[in-house]
Amino acid sequence: MLAEATKVGIEYLSKPFFLLIEGAQIDSFGHRNDILGIVIEAIHFDKAITEAINYGDTHENTLVIITADHERLV
């Protein structure tokens, strides 16, 4: 669903635009040490990133930034 929301958001917004996409559940699963949840959410986030990169590849002057707000070392 995150990838689809990313795609729809990009299509809906006027140019220029700023769109923040967050894989919010990755952190929650991390706090619970739920490895399967982390992996599934990371895959969903990867698909959303792919939508953003595909847009950036086909539209000049587009910057896609991917970052993490914090990390957890186990």
Domain annotation covers residue 45: yes
Domain annotation covers residue 72: no
Domain annotation covers residue 64: no
Structure tokens at 45: 């986030």
pTM of the model: 0.78
Structure confidence by residue, pLDDT tens digits, 36-68: 999 999 899 999 999 999 999 999 989 999 887
Burial of 44 (0-12, 13-18, 19+ CB in 10 A): middle
Domain annotation covers residue 68: no
**Residue 70 confidence (pLDDT):** 63
**Residue 25 confidence (pLDDT):** 86
State the total domains in the chain. Answer: 1
Structure tokens at 67: 């970052």
Whether the CB-CB separation of 10 and 52 falls below 8 Å is answered with yes
Domain annotation covers residue 67: no
The parent domain of residue 49 ranges over 2-58
